[in-house]
Structure 1
């Protein structure tokens, strides 16, 4: 055979071999898809699998079926204080072993079978114990799948949104931390038939950069919460989400405005005591504003029977504003009393002048060497009684008083109304500063103690 003919013959045989191999590969792919259908018909066909019967226990025993659970928290929408609930969207996964679903993977070509109809296989009867509302996601298709692995393992995954109850203790509000739970339990199968366990390793995952409007998710803890009733013991899982309330919002919206209102009410102490319209308007305006602020805060909180930290703050601030208004009433009363005292001083000066005049007259008589005897009249005139009363008043006012440092300092201010204003300028800020010291040290230390 010529050389060129042999070369062409070898090339032709090689080409035919490649075409045959490619044809076998394509034929294998078609058969692979056909094999999946055959496997599904084989394990889930009529009369072959009963979804009403639970799987056997570990190693094919009659023990309880073991279902391992893990969660992926996609988002936390809202945490409501007044309703004591929170909304969460999560991907929920369950995995269990069902030996009736074992199949031939054809040398690893079939990694798993995927289903979208949960009614085809047995499903655990899990429910969320503290759920208020919930719904599945069906856009564009139902967000659910079931994977069946060759060795009989079943993985169920679904995306759901839940509104869950979260009982809160608001004694330290808004310096508080709250723990909201997610509880999952079996509804009908007792622990003799079904047991839920957290997946080993990392049972709960949380999306990165989780943002909440008024809270920060500090950490989460997984635990078990099996419950016993008169119908048996039921398996239960729970995850506790620990939230810390963001204090900066309340500092800007509540605490600083309340401090400003209290300080504005003190401006009344620096106004003239005769500026009645200005002082009354200032006191009433700050009092009404503080009352409106308090009612707005209480409207955003549930009506609880205990006293909250914010109640103490708003109550004391309201008391200071009300005290500033009462201080003006006291100043007004003292001002009228000062006018009466001025009249008494005028009478005292008149008594002193009359007494000095009588002494000068007596001295003149003594110098002249004459002596007179005054006889008491049998009938006393009304003016004589008034003179005696004025004399006693003069004697009372002329009694010496012991001085001290406070009285000496207050004597710089001529009237009692002015002294009340001056004392209030010092007393109100000092007492308010002392209250702040006690308030923040008490509630901040209580917060740290509860965390520990």
Structure 2
């Protein structure tokens, strides 16, 4: 019986196998709609149907300007160059506009959008980056660009590009400064009567999370419009202002602390003996040359601007302190030789001999003139009362003035008999106090000016 039923059951089984085959299900589902995509593209972009040279109409099919909404995604910021005043950025750039000529049937929502990779097949806005120095597209593995056409005729253009952009900087507060670098996008040929760029509503600029910069921090960004008028008309323009704050810790470790150490090392000369001429000279010259080398190295990484920067004030004052310490030793050396000369004179004419010489002179000889004639001083025999009163007042003033003449500084300096030693002692106190006052003035001034700039 099984063998008799087999010839009739075979066609039925084959029919069921064909109907239940996966390829049959696929053909009834999506394969046909992929074929529909081709038909739609041929229908809207076929020869004689669409002209990419003509811009889309305005809103509601009017002759107004075409509105193009723009948004960008900042992928990375590789460097910010102070010397060339430029910065490099990699971003995903997106434009979206409405072209009613590209409307198509979505077959009940089955076709969400059509994807193109050739931008020349549809009309494109002639946007360019006005502050661009260099730029290139990314073509690995395929060109990083796509165009999506939606059923209502909306077109989305997305591309990944890398740009090197100009960033004019004000370095007066360097390295305590903040810099604003702009990204400007404008129309090259279409005026505002034909083309208008608008920022996309709601988060027009997006920044990748954990954006890392070696010497800066991206504090915030602002979007704005920058339309420009020329002899040929007014052109639509968009801009993004990126506010970068310079990281100060790098400069504190590499510049400020080493300069402070060099200044303090130059003060060691004040504590060395006056007779250690080679040690004091070599110390002063070495610190001076090291400070000069440090200053030249700092200026080599910055552009030759015409104004004074904050770092110039710091290095200039530190260089002055080191140079002053070297000059101080020259003054000490000169004073020590003067002290030696005065000591030699005292040895030739000791004070005891002078006292004996003066005591051997007859007091009555004071009354004799050089020619031997007598000279008697005429003194009044009777004093007037006014004279006695004035003498008493003078003695009282002298009594009151004597305690005021005592000075703690003078009494402390009197412990050091030579002038050269006194100069060293005064320098040990004077140089640190002045340098501390300079630090207080410097940091309060530039930090306060930085806060004013933020406001």
Do they fold alike, i.e. is TM over 0.5?
yes
Aligned in 2, Cα 1:264/1:46: closer, same or farther, shift over 3 Å?
same
Partners of 1:280 and 1:73 lie apart in 2 by: 56
Q: CA deviation at 1:362?
A: 5.3
Match of residue 309 from structure 2:
308
Q: CA deviation at 1:357?
A: 4.7
Partners of 2:447 and 2:368 lie apart in 1 by: 82
Name the SS for the 1:202 alignment partner: coil
Match of residue 272 from structure 1:
273
Name the SS for the 1:277 alignment partner: helix
Match of residue 103 from structure 1:
104
Match of residue 19 from structure 1:
19
Match of residue 442 from structure 2:
439
Match of residue 339 from structure 1:
340
Give the stretch that moved more between structures: 155-164 or 340-349: 340-349
Aligned in 2, Cα 1:292/1:361: closer, same or farther, shift over 3 Å?
closer
Match of residue 32 from structure 2:
31
Partners of 2:26 and 2:19 lie apart in 1 by: 10
The answer to whether residue 256 in structure 2 is matched with residue 255 in structure 1 is: yes
Partners of 2:89 and 2:45 lie apart in 1 by: 35
Unaligned runs of 5+ in 2: 373-401
Q: CA deviation at 1:31?
A: 1.5
Match of residue 182 from structure 1:
183
Aligned in 2, Cα 1:375/1:330: closer, same or farther, shift over 3 Å?
closer
Partners of 2:289 and 2:76 lie apart in 1 by: 41
Partners of 1:51 and 1:432 lie apart in 2 by: 71
Match of residue 398 from structure 2:
none
Partners of 1:348 and 1:406 lie apart in 2 by: 30
Name the SS for the 2:52 alignment partner: coil
Partners of 2:168 and 2:266 lie apart in 1 by: 39
Aligned in 2, Cα 1:375/1:157: closer, same or farther, shift over 3 Å?
closer
Q: CA deviation at 1:356?
A: 1.8
Match of residue 236 from structure 2:
235
How many pairs does the alignment contain?
A: 414
Match of residue 135 from structure 2:
134
Q: CA deviation at 1:437?
A: 0.2
Partners of 1:354 and 1:297 lie apart in 2 by: 63
| Cα offsets for 1:77-99 (capped at 9, x unmatched) | 00000000000000000000000
Q: CA deviation at 1:358?
A: 5.6
Q: CA deviation at 1:340?
A: 1.6
> For 1:420, which of 408, 423, 435 is the aligned residue?
423
Aligned in 2, Cα 1:62/1:354: closer, same or farther, shift over 3 Å?
closer
Aligned in 2, Cα 1:93/1:448: closer, same or farther, shift over 3 Å?
same
Partners of 2:183 and 2:70 lie apart in 1 by: 13
The answer to whether residue 200 in structure 2 is matched with residue 199 in structure 1 is: yes
Unaligned runs of 5+ in 1: 379-399
Q: CA deviation at 1:377?
A: 8.7
Name the SS for the 2:451 alignment partner: helix
What TM-score does the superposition give when structure 1 sets the normalisation length? 0.87
Q: Give matches, 1:83-232, under 5 Å.
A: 83-232=84-233
Partners of 1:295 and 1:450 lie apart in 2 by: 28
| Cα offsets for 1:294-348 (capped at 9, x unmatched) | 0000000000010000000000000000000000000000001101221233355
Name the SS for the 2:350 alignment partner: helix
Name the SS for the 2:33 alignment partner: helix
Q: CA deviation at 1:20?
A: 7.2
The answer to whether residue 430 in structure 2 is matched with residue 411 in structure 1 is: no
Q: CA deviation at 1:28?
A: 4.0
Partners of 1:100 and 1:308 lie apart in 2 by: 58
Aligned in 2, Cα 1:419/1:121: closer, same or farther, shift over 3 Å?
same
Partners of 1:81 and 1:200 lie apart in 2 by: 34
Give the stretch that moved more between structures: 323-332 or 106-115: 106-115
Name the SS for the 1:56 alignment partner: coil
Q: CA deviation at 1:359?
A: 2.5
Match of residue 54 from structure 1:
55
Aligned in 2, Cα 1:209/1:353: closer, same or farther, shift over 3 Å?
same
Match of residue 394 from structure 1:
none
Give the stretch that moved more between structures: 219-228 or 405-414: 405-414
Give the stretch that moved more between structures: 17-26 or 282-291: 17-26
Name the SS for the 1:296 alignment partner: helix
| Cα offsets for 1:211-241 (capped at 9, x unmatched) | 0000000000000000011111000000000
Aligned in 2, Cα 1:222/1:374: closer, same or farther, shift over 3 Å?
closer
Partners of 1:153 and 1:171 lie apart in 2 by: 48
Partners of 1:309 and 1:244 lie apart in 2 by: 16
Partners of 2:369 and 2:223 lie apart in 1 by: 109
Match of residue 71 from structure 1:
72
Name the SS for the 1:29 alignment partner: helix
What TM-score does the superposition give when structure 2 sets the normalisation length? 0.86
Name the SS for the 2:202 alignment partner: coil
Name the SS for the 1:54 alignment partner: coil
Name the SS for the 1:32 alignment partner: helix
Partners of 2:80 and 2:25 lie apart in 1 by: 60
